C-alpha cells in the first residue's frame, strides 16, 4: 500500500506522504480476514482506518439497488431499459435533488447491466426510487450494515459512510452467492497448553437468493470487462473474470475499489484523513492498488456455479429480443427462468456490420477502450 | 502400503454398500405423511471421492472420529481447517452441516447443506445427502411438510446418483 501510494503521489506530483489508505482481504467462502492494512504505516497501533474510518462509499452502494431489482425477475432483467434522463427528486423538508452522472451527461435509455457497468447515477437513482428507497434501505442489516442511512434517494448512491471492513462484508455476501458469513479474524482463544476456551465457529446465513446474486456477479464482471474498471486488465488477465465495482465520491475525496475473485474478496480505500480531495477516482486510485495486490497473491479465477434457476439466452443486443438458435452473433446473457424475452428476432445483417466496424477499428490500431465507446455511441443512436 | 490396501478394500466395500442401499429412504407415498423415524441413515461417501488432497482427507478423518465420539466442536474446527484448503468442496460443507445437525443447530445445518448444494454442480450423490440433512433438520424443527419434500428430493437424487455411478464414485 505504502509503495503504491508513494508511486501515485510521485506520478501525480502530490506532496509526499499525504495520501492515506486501507486494505482488507478476506476469504470468500469462510469469511476469514486474511489481511488488513490500516494505513500507510501498517504497524501503527492507533487509528486503524480499515475498521475505524467511516467514509462515504459512493457507487459501491449501487449493487444493493440492482440486486433488489433483480430479485423481481418479472420486472427486471439484465436488459431491462432504464431511464437515464434528468431527474429531480423532491421530498418535503429537503431541497430538490438532481443527481448528475460523472460525465455530466444523460444517456436516455440504457440497459440495466450497462447502467451498473458504467455506473450511471441518474438511472440508478430512478431505479431505486421506483423500487422504494425505504425498501432498499431495509435490506442493509441483512448484508451486515448496522447503521441506517437517511431515507433520501442520495443514500442509494452511497452518500453514507462505511468502514472498509463493512464494505468487505457487503461484497463477501455477493461473492458467496448470497450467503453471508460474518467476517472473523479470530477462530478460537486457547489456554497456554492449547485447550480451547472460546471458539468462534463459522456461521453462515442465507440473505439473498442465489439466482439474482448470480446475475449481479455477471454484471460486476461486466464492470471489469467493459465498464468503469476495464483498466484492471493491466494487472489481472481477462480469464480471471474478476467482479468489481469502483467508487468515487464528490470532489474526488474518496477512491474505492471493491472486488472478488474465486477465493478472495478485497476492498481498498484511498483518500485523505482531513477529507480534502484526493484527486483520484475509484479506478485511478484504489483500483490500481487492488490490481497490484491481487496480482501478487495469485487469486483463483471467478467461476460461480450457475444456480438451477438460471438459463443462458442468446440475445440481440439492439432489440433485446431472443435470437433464433442458429444466430451466432448475439450476446449470451444469463436470465432467471421464464424472465428472458419470449419474442424471437430473426438473424440480422447488422451483426456483420458491427464485426466489420470492429475489424476496421482494429485495423486502424485503435485501443480496445475506444472501440467500446464507439460501439456504445452507435447503440445509443439506435435508441434515439 | 498395507494400510492403503486395507483402505482401498474398505472403500470398495463402502461403495458396494452405497450402491445397494442408496442414501435415501423409500419415496414417501402421498397418503402416508413422512414420520421423523423414516429419515434415512446417511451413508458416508468414500473419502477418495470427496477430495484428492491428503491433508483434507486427514482432517476429514479426524473430524469424523471426533464427531462419532461426540466431540462436535473439535470436529467442526477440523472441518473448518479443511475448508480453508478447499473452500468450494461440497463434501466438506456437507460434513459440517451434519456436525451442526448433531449439535442441534438446525437452521445452521440447513444453510450449510444449501451452501454445499450451491457448490455441488451436477453431483446428485452429494445433493441427495444434503437434502437428507435438510429433511432431518426440518423434522427437528417441526416442519413435517417441508421435511417430506426434502426426503422426496433426496430419494430422486439418490436414484440419479445410482444411475450415474461412474462419475459419482470416482476411484483414481
Residue A131's pLDDT is 95
**pLDDT mean across residues, chain A:** 85
B26-56 pLDDT per residue, tens: 444 433 333 333 566 666 677 777 888 889 9
Banded pLDDT at A41 (limits 50, 70, 90):
confident
The shortest CB-CB distance from A29 to any of B76, B87, B120 is to B87
pTM reported for the whole predicted model: 0.81
- The pLDDT of B8-25, averaged and rounded, is 51
Residue A376's pLDDT is 46
**pLDDT mean across residues, chain B:** 78
Residue B60's pLDDT is 92
Written as one string, the DSSP assignment of A2-47 is HHHHHHHHHHTTPPTT--EEEEEEEETTT-BEEEEE-SSSTT--S-
Q: Does B104 touch chain A (CB under 8 A)?
A: no
For residues B130 and B94, the answer to whether their CB atoms sit within 8 Å is yes
Residue A134's pLDDT is 94
Contacts of A217 in chain B (CB under 8 A): none
Q: Does A217 touch chain B (CB under 8 A)?
A: no
Banded pLDDT at B171 (limits 50, 70, 90):
very low
Residue A199's pLDDT is 76
Residue A259's pLDDT is 96
- The pLDDT of B97-104, averaged and rounded, is 95
- Choice between A71 and A191, residue whose per-residue pLDDT is larger: A71
Residue A344's pLDDT is 80
Contact criterion met (CB < 8 Å) for A205 and B111: yes
Taken in order A14, A18, A22, A23, is the CA torsion positive or negative?
positive
Residue B33's pLDDT is 39
Query: Which of the 8 DSSP states describes residue B1?
Result: -
Of A34, A351, A3, whose CA–CA distance to A184 is shortest? A34
Q: Does A182 touch chain B (CB under 8 A)?
A: no
Q: Which residue of A has its CA nearest to B107?
A: A205
- Residue A281 clears pLDDT 50, i.e. is over it: yes
Contact criterion met (CB < 8 Å) for A27 and B88: no
For residues A58 and A248, the answer to whether their CB atoms sit within 8 Å is yes
Residue B59's pLDDT is 93
Contact criterion met (CB < 8 Å) for B111 and A263: no
The top-scoring range by mean pLDDT among A4-8, B22-26, B48-52 is: B48-52
d(CA A284, CA A288): 6
Contact criterion met (CB < 8 Å) for A201 and B80: yes
Residue A193's pLDDT is 76
Contact criterion met (CB < 8 Å) for B119 and A196: no
Residue B28's pLDDT is 42
Residue B161's pLDDT is 84
- Choice between A170 and B6, residue whose per-residue pLDDT is larger: A170
- The pLDDT of A37-66, averaged and rounded, is 88
The shortest CB-CB distance from B83 to any of A29, A177, A262 is to A29
Give CB contacts under 8 A, 24+ apart, made by A102-107: A102/A248, A107/A380
Determine which of A235-239, A297-301, B9-13, B23-27 has the lowest per-residue pLDDT on average.
B23-27
- Residue B7 clears pLDDT 70, i.e. is over it: no
Contact criterion met (CB < 8 Å) for A177 and B118: yes
Q: Does B61 touch chain A (CB under 8 A)?
A: no
- Residue A332 clears pLDDT 50, i.e. is over it: yes
- The pLDDT of B92-117, averaged and rounded, is 95
Indicate the helix (H) or strand (E) that contains A100. none
Residue B31's pLDDT is 37
For residues A124 and A106, the answer to whether their CB atoms sit within 8 Å is no
**Percent of residues, chain A, with pLDDT higher than 70:** 88
Q: Does B128 touch chain A (CB under 8 A)?
A: no
Residue A190's pLDDT is 73
- The pLDDT of B4-26, averaged and rounded, is 52
For residues A122 and A89, the answer to whether their CB atoms sit within 8 Å is no
Banded pLDDT at A380 (limits 50, 70, 90):
very low
Query: CB-based contacts of A367: which residues, under 8 Å, 6+ apart?
Result: none
Banded pLDDT at B138 (limits 50, 70, 90):
very high
Q: Which three cell numbers stand for residue A228?
A: 468503469
- Residue B156 clears pLDDT 70, i.e. is over it: yes
Residue A371's pLDDT is 41
Residue A367's pLDDT is 39
Residue A191's pLDDT is 74
- Residue B131 clears pLDDT 60, i.e. is over it: yes
Look-up: residue for cell 440508478?
A124
- Residue A264 clears pLDDT 90, i.e. is over it: yes
Determine which of A131-135, B37-41, B47-51, B138-142 has the lowest per-residue pLDDT on average.
B37-41
Determine which of A11-25, A159-173, A195-209 has the lowest per-residue pLDDT on average.
A11-25
For residues A163 and A183, the answer to whether their CB atoms sit within 8 Å is no
Residue A124's pLDDT is 96
Banded pLDDT at A338 (limits 50, 70, 90):
confident
A198-246 pLDDT per residue, tens: 777 888 999 999 999 999 999 999 999 999 999 999 999 999 999 999 9
A71-93 pLDDT per residue, tens: 999 999 999 999 999 999 887 77
Count the neighbouring beta carbons within 10 Å of the beta carbon of residue A331: 13
Q: Does A27 touch chain B (CB under 8 A)?
A: yes
- Which residue intervals of B43-172 are DSSP H helices? 47-50, 54-68, 72-85, 90-102, 106-119, 124-141, 144-163, 165-168
Indicate the helix (H) or strand (E) that contains A258. strand A254-260
The shortest CB-CB distance from A204 to any of B76, B87, B112 is to B112
- The pLDDT of A264-287, averaged and rounded, is 89
Q: Does A299 touch chain B (CB under 8 A)?
A: no
- The pLDDT of A174-184, averaged and rounded, is 92
A340-360 pLDDT per residue, tens: 888 887 776 554 555 555 554
Q: Does A307 touch chain B (CB under 8 A)?
A: yes
- Choice between A40 and A73, residue whose per-residue pLDDT is larger: A73
Residue A267's pLDDT is 95
- Choice between A11 and A144, residue whose per-residue pLDDT is larger: A144
Amino acid at each position: 500500500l505504502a509503495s503504491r501510494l508513494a508511486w501515485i503521489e510521485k506520478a501525480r506530483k502530490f506532496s509526499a506522504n499525504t495520501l492515506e489508505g486501507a486494505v482488507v482481504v478476506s476469504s470468500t467462502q469462510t469469511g476469514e480476514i486474511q489481511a488488513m492494512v490500516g494505513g500507510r504505516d501498517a504497524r501503527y497501533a492507533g487509528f486503524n482506518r480499515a475498521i475505524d474510518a467511516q467514509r462515504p462509499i459512493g457507487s459501491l452502494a449501487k449493487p444493493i439497488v440492482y440486486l433488489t431489482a433483480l430479485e423481481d425477475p418479472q420486472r427486471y432483467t439484465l436488459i431491462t431499459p432504464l431511464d437515464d434522463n434528468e431527474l429531480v427528486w423532491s421530498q418535503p423538508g429537503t431541497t430538490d435533488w438532481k443527481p448528475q452522472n460523472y460525465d455530466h451527461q444523460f444517456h436516455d435509455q440504457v440497459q440495466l447491466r450497462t447502467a451498473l457497468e458504467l455506473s450511471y447515477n441518474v438511472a440508478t437513482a430512478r431505479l431505486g426510487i421506483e423500487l422504494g428507497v425505504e425498501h432498499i434501505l431495509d435490506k442493509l442489516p441483512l448484508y451486515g450494515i448496522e447503521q441506517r442511512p437517511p431515507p433520501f434517494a442520495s443514500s442509494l448512491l452511497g452518500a453514507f459512510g462505511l468502514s472498509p471492513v463493512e464494505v468487505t462484508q457487503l461484497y463477501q455476501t455477493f461473492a458467496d452467492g448470497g450467503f453471508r458469513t460474518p467476517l472473523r479474524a479470530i477462530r478460537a482463544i486457547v489456554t497456554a497448553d492449547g485447550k480451547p476456551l472460546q471458539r468462534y465457529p463459522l456461521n453462515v446465513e442465507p440473505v439473498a437468493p442465489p439466482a439474482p446474486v448470480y446475475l449481479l456477479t455477471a454484471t460486476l464482471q461486466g464492470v471489469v470487462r467493459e465498464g468503469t474498471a476495464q483498466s484492471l486488465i493491466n494487472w489481472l488477465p481477462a480469464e480471471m473474470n474478476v467482479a468489481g465495482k469502483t467508487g468515487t465520491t464528490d470532489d474526488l475525496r474518496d477512491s474505492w475499489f471493491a472486488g472478488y475473485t474465486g477465493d478472495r474478496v478485497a476492498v481498498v480505500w484511498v483518500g485523505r484523513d482531513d477529507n480534502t480531495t484526493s484527486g483520484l477516482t475509484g479506478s485511478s486510485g484504489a483500483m490500481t492498488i487492488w490490481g497490484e495486490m491481487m496480482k501478487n497473491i495469485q487469486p483463483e479465477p471467478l467461476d460461480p456455479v450457475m444456480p438451477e434457476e438460471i438459463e443462458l439466452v442468446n440475445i440481440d443486443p439492439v432489440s433485446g429480443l431472443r435470437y433464433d438458435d442458429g444466430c451466432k452473433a448475439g450476446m449470451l446473457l444469463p436470465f432467471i427462468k421464464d424472465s428472458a424475452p419470449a419474442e424471437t428476432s430473426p438473424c440480422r445483417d447488422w451483426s456483420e456490420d458491427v464485426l466489420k466496424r470492429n475489424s476496421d477499428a482494429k485495423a486502424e490500431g485503435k485501443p480496445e477502450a475506444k472501440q467500446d465507446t464507439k460501439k456504445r455511441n452507435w447503440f445509443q443512436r439506435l435508441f434515439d | 502400503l498395507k494400510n492403503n490396501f486395507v483402505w482401498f478394500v474398505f472403500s470398495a466395500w463402502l461403495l458396494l454398500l452405497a450402491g445397494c442401499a442408496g442414501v435415501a429412504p423409500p419415496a414417501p407415498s402421498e397418503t402416508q405423511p413422512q414420520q421423523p423415524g423414516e429419515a434415512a441413515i446417511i451413508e458416508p461417501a468414500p473419502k477418495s471421492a470427496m477430495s484428492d488432497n491428503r491433508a483434507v482427507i486427514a482432517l476429514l478423518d479426524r473430524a469424523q472420529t471426533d464427531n462419532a465420539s461426540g466431540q462436535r466442536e473439535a470436529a467442526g474446527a477440523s472441518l473448518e481447517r479443511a475448508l480453508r484448503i478447499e473452500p468450494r468442496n461440497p463434501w466438506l460443507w456437507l460434513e459440517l452441516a451434519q456436525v451442526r445437525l448433531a449439535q442441534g443447530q438446525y437452521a445452521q445445518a440447513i444453510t450449510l447443506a444449501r451452501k454445499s448444494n450451491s457448490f455441488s454442480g451436477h453431483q446428485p450423490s452429494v445433493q441427495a445427502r444434503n437434502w437428507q440433512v435438510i429433511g432431518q433438520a426440518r423434522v427437528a424443527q417441526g416442519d413435517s411438510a417441508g421435511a417430506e419434500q426434502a426426503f422426496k428430493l433426496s430419494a430422486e437424487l439418490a436414484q440419479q446418483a445410482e444411475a450415474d455411478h461412474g462419475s459419482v464414485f470416482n476411484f483414481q
